[in-house]
Amino acid sequence: MTKKSNIAITIEALAQAVKANFEGDGSISISGAAPITKAQPGEITFIANEKYIKFLENTKASAIVLDKDTPCPKHITAIRHDNPYLTFARIIDILYTEEPQIPIGVDSASIVEKGAEISPSSHIGPLCHIKNNAQIGDNSKLISSVYIGNNVTIGNNCLIYPGVIILDDTKIGDNVIIHSSTVIGSDGFGYAESDKGLKKIKQIGWVEIDNDVEIGSNCSVDRGALGPTKIGRGTKIDNLVQIAHNVEIGNNCIIVSQVGISGSTKLGNGVILAGQVGVVGHLEIGDGARVGAKSGVSKSVLPDKTVFGSPARDIMKAKRIEASLVHLPKLLKRVRIIEKKIKD
Amino acid sequence: MTKKSNIAITIEALAQAVKANFEGDGSISISGAAPITKAQPGEITFIANEKYIKFLENTKASAIVLDKDTPCPKHITAIRHDNPYLTFARIIDILYTEEPQIPIGVDSASIVEKGAEISPSSHIGPLCHIKNNAQIGDNSKLISSVYIGNNVTIGNNCLIYPGVIILDDTKIGDNVIIHSSTVIGSDGFGYAESDKGLKKIKQIGWVEIDNDVEIGSNCSVDRGALGPTKIGRGTKIDNLVQIAHNVEIGNNCIIVSQVGISGSTKLGNGVILAGQVGVVGHLEIGDGARVGAKSGVSKSVLPDKTVFGSPARDIMKAKRIEASLVHLPKLLKRVRIIEKKIKD
Amino acid sequence: MTKKSNIAITIEALAQAVKANFEGDGSISISGAAPITKAQPGEITFIANEKYIKFLENTKASAIVLDKDTPCPKHITAIRHDNPYLTFARIIDILYTEEPQIPIGVDSASIVEKGAEISPSSHIGPLCHIKNNAQIGDNSKLISSVYIGNNVTIGNNCLIYPGVIILDDTKIGDNVIIHSSTVIGSDGFGYAESDKGLKKIKQIGWVEIDNDVEIGSNCSVDRGALGPTKIGRGTKIDNLVQIAHNVEIGNNCIIVSQVGISGSTKLGNGVILAGQVGVVGHLEIGDGARVGAKSGVSKSVLPDKTVFGSPARDIMKAKRIEASLVHLPKLLKRVRIIEKKIKD
């Protein structure tokens, strides 16, 4: 089962819209997008990964987005582009427009404290609570049950899903998307030892989220202890991610689900942390560095380096260790045999 | 301290209700259930694990659920069943009935958009927001502050705890339980690289949850990119679990807390993933496969296989490696000694 | 950029308030606190870690909190204390008082069921739902959109952030802080196998949280199966932590982000679990034990022991294994060479 698009459009028109060429019958009307194995006549699909070329012959799709080189069966119309995945993403945007239309204005079942400034072009759904001196920019949408603390600023064209909590003093740029139940600006985890147990260090900092950031559901982004916790422009964060106080994340990073970044660690630009990675505090992860899934990063990582494992090491080293581990049980026996032989 | 049950009932009546036999005085009245070390006179306990047999002699419980073979002290009445844990579960259901009674109907402090169809036998608590064309079946309960998106369908006898967010187009079967702050249908994590940074792939899919599924608190279940993310009949999911887009989980699986399952991975039926397991994307985990706690699964797993470790290996292999690791530091020294000897 | 404090106060007055001595000009007015590299004139900073002594010479701060021995440049006024971090924490409390003032009473947009007892000195913000027989003590604050179940008791001076869900029968002491989207009292994960699939074990227990506990955002604390899940006095829990049913945590423990503690495990007092640690069920972790980040604890840990790794071992052993692992790939080759030599 696939999802019908909101509009039907010819392949020719689609190709033109995404600035790509096509081969085959451009007059066919497209009314849906689907994976190659599930697509039906009238639908478009794509190949961005060689593994899927084997399904090309038998797909029922009417059109397919391909790179410039992959041969295409005659019965399918090919839309050709150097970056087929990006092109397919653009086609989806055309086929599946937002629905239903969301009305502008503040729902009467929301609470807006005095001093809050809300752009008249924004949409504030029901059961939201917007506190004193908060600012919400043009065309931004708070779907439902969103909490916006004192002095929070949210830019233009933001999309805040139900159940998001944005606490005092958070600054959010334009085109930011935050998914449900994520908490921005909870207190950092800081205590000093005292005779009477652990004394809380009041967390007086805040969170800054730059333009074009997307943050998944059930994430925790803590406010800085004294200054900001920062998430740089264009960075994308998956679900259930922990960002501790004073962390600074650069631009265009990819932080996959269930990652935890400890306090005061800095990530450069274009860093990729795969799922369930943990990074200890006060480290520097250089521009373009990559960390493999489930790794535990205990030392700073140089730019463009790929590390893996727990503790994380250079990925080539880590893979060699991993490969040799299989031989360890027998190695113990072999050394025992050698020791015996030598003794004799 | 233990919890008093809502009713008092004789052991004889209890045994009859759960279709088990009893040995000893069946006329004793039972008004509570407790662990074997904490149970008091008038309470019932159980043994489902041999480790606890040692507490049998000194328990103060008046009755105990046992298997057919374990000897029972004379002063305690035994309820006998091949599956004592299941029998105890059924006894708890009898002793502790739901309280207080929840009224049917929609609370006036909830918002129901037009087009939503809500069974008159359901309970919609306050501060809920139910959007256009949503459908809620018979005897289902939304306790408080639940968000139900456009076109969501929820079957009969479901129980949705406070703070749950169910986003557009989700399909939920009958007898489903979802715990607080869980998010169903947030966007999958998909981007295409472009000259201007990461371009979001609009996630046009949905989530399908079959009958008898239970999902814990603070979980994230992402909608599919183009089609469904699926959770099969009878599957149980613990807290803080990540289910990425296009994942398909079979029937009667057990997914323990803080597990993460990456995009497009398929689990068969009866799969068990222990706590904090991570599974990379596009894998197949066969029927009845088991994955040990904290494992990182980077390859598909055959049916009925048990794997462990990070990266996950056959559990016997993994345990052998783990056992030999302890000897590695000395092994290095031993080899150095051998090398010296040989050199001489 | 740093945050201006709510008041300005002379160093002399500050030192007196925190019972510390000062060296230098005590008449300077302080109106902010900041990290040593970012502090500006008129601000106070601190050094609690030797790594930061190098920044002392060039800081622009007007005052600094130091231990008794670290030399201080003449142009900066030093506040001296044996525990500079604790002293700095107290100074922050003085400089940054709560703002804005929160009014007492129950917001008219909240729902309070009959039978709930709410102290008139407490603050119940909007969109809260407080159920039957709940009790809320003096000076406690529920900021917004908080759910309080039936028979919940909350002590004095508690601070409950927006979106927190506290389910039926939970008992919370005084001075407890709970951060947003955390769920207290969700069902434990317990099922018995039956012919018809997994049968839910009704979770009839509850959660007990003692005085002075702080729990981060997006945590899940499950109710006990039959009795309590307990969190001891003064314990601090970070974000995204899983506490399973029947867990008992002692006093003054530190549980860092994304830790998972499985069912019925007991932690003594003063235990530290670093980030992403997993602990299997039914274990005992002794007083003062420490577990390194990302460790998987599969056996009980003796008091005051430090363990590390997955599976967790004595930390010295674990470090030795880790250090030797790097040599493993070459060791394999070396043994092969030895075997050849011996064969000859």
ipTM of the complex: 0.96
**Residue B98 predicted with pLDDT over 80:** no
Inter-chain CB proximity B234 and C198 less than 8 Å: yes
Which residue from B1, B85, B218 is facing C183, i.e. has the nearest CB?
B218
Inter-chain CB proximity C321 and B329 less than 8 Å: yes
Residues of A in contact with C35 (CB under 8 A): 226-227
- Chosen for mutation from C51, C141, C239, C333 (greatest number of chain A CBs closer than 10 Å) is C239
C34 Cα to chain B: minimum distance (Å): 34
pLDDT in tens, chain A (344 residues): 678 888 899 999 999 999 999 999 999 999 999 999 999 999 999 998 888 999 999 999 999 999 999 999 999 999 999 999 999 999 999 999 866 678 899 999 999 998 999 999 999 999 999 999 999 999 999 999 999 999 999 999 999 999 999 999 999 999 999 999 999 999 999 999 999 999 999 999 999 999 999 999 999 999 999 999 999 999 999 999 999 999 999 999 999 999 999 999 999 999 999 999 999 999 999 999 999 999 999 999 999 999 999 999 999 999 999 999 999 999 999 999 999 988 76
Task: Annotate C156-175 with b (16+ C-beta within 10 A) or e (fewer).
Answer: bbbbbbbbbbbbbbbbbbbb
**Residue C99 predicted with pLDDT over 80:** no
**Residue B7 predicted with pLDDT over 90:** no
Inter-chain CB proximity B341 and A342 less than 8 Å: yes
Residues of B in contact with A2 (CB under 8 A): 226-227
Catalytic annotation, residues of A: 245
Amino acid B102: pLDDT: 85
* CA–CA dist A284, A305 (Å, integer): 12
Inter-chain CB proximity C275 and A280 less than 8 Å: yes
Q: Residue A228 — φ and ψ, nearest 5°? A: -90, 155
Inter-chain CB proximity A227 and C35 less than 8 Å: yes
- Chosen for mutation from A159, A328, A341 (greatest number of chain B CBs closer than 10 Å) is A328
Amino acid C5: pLDDT: 84
Which residue from A111, A205, A227 is facing C109, i.e. has the nearest CB?
A111
Which residue from A88, A218, A329 is facing B220, i.e. has the nearest CB?
A218
Amino acid C70: pLDDT: 92
User: Token digits for C207?
Assistant: 């959660």
Inter-chain CB proximity C3 and A258 less than 8 Å: no
Distance of CA A101 to the CA centre of its chain: 25
Residue closest to B229 by CA, chosen among B194, B274, B262: B262
Q: What is the pLDDT of residues C232-243, one digit of tens each?
A: 999 999 999 999
Are A309 and A278 in contact by the 8 Å Cβ rule? The answer is: no
**Residue C4 predicted with pLDDT over 90:** no
Inter-chain CB proximity A328 and B323 less than 8 Å: no
User: Token digits for A76?
Assistant: 């399918």
Question: Of the given ranges (C28-37, C91-100, C128-137, C233-242), which has the lowest mean pLDDT?
Answer: C91-100
Amino acid A100: pLDDT: 63
Which residue from C181, C252, C328 is facing A183, i.e. has the nearest CB?
C181
User: Token digits for C240?
Assistant: 């995204």
Are C179 and C164 in contact by the 8 Å Cβ rule? The answer is: yes
Amino acid B99: pLDDT: 61
- Chosen for mutation from A182, A204, A246, A335 (greatest number of chain C CBs closer than 10 Å) is A204
Distance of CA B161 to the CA centre of its chain: 15
Amino acid C236: pLDDT: 98
With CA atoms as reference, the chain C residue closest to A317 would be C326
Catalytic annotation, residues of B: 245
What single string gives the DSSP state of each residue in C245-299?
A: TT-EE-TT-EE-TT-EE-TT-EE-TT-EE-TT-EE-TT-EE-TT-EE-TT-EE-S
Q: What is the pLDDT of residues C190-244, one digit of tens each?
A: 999 999 999 999 999 999 999 999 999 999 999 999 999 999 999 999 999 999 9
B66 Cα to chain A: minimum distance (Å): 41
Inter-chain CB proximity A222 and C239 less than 8 Å: yes
Task: Annotate A297-319 with b (16+ C-beta within 10 A) or e (fewer).
Answer: beebbeeebbbbbbbbbebeebe
A201 Cα to chain C: minimum distance (Å): 5
B269 Cα to chain C: minimum distance (Å): 11
Inter-chain CB proximity C260 and B251 less than 8 Å: no
Task: Annotate A75-88 with b (16+ C-beta within 10 A) or e (fewer).
Answer: ebbbbbbebbbbbb
B22 Cα to chain A: minimum distance (Å): 48
Q: What is the pLDDT of residues C117-138, one digit of tens each?
A: 999 999 999 999 999 999 999 9
Amino acid C49: pLDDT: 84
Which residue from A219, A226, A324 is facing C332, i.e. has the nearest CB?
A324
Which residue from B218, B275, B339 is facing C338, i.e. has the nearest CB?
B339
Amino acid A6: pLDDT: 82
Q: What is the pLDDT of residues B151-189, one digit of tens each?
A: 999 999 999 999 999 999 999 999 999 999 999 999 999
* CA–CA dist C276, A281 (Å, integer): 13
Entry pTM: 0.97
Inter-chain CB proximity B145 and C150 less than 8 Å: no
Amino acid A3: pLDDT: 80
Q: How many residue pairs bridge chain A and chain C with CB atoms within 8 Å of each other? A: 181
Q: What is the pLDDT of residues B190-235, one digit of tens each?
A: 999 999 999 999 999 999 999 999 999 999 999 999 999 999 999 9
Residues of B in contact with A161 (CB under 8 A): 165, 167, 186
Neighbours of chain B (3+ CB pairs under 8 A): A, C
Name the percent of chain C lying above pLDDT 90. Answer: 92
User: Token digits for B248?
Assistant: 């398909």
Amino acid B100: pLDDT: 63
Amino acid C100: pLDDT: 63
C181 Cα to chain B: minimum distance (Å): 7
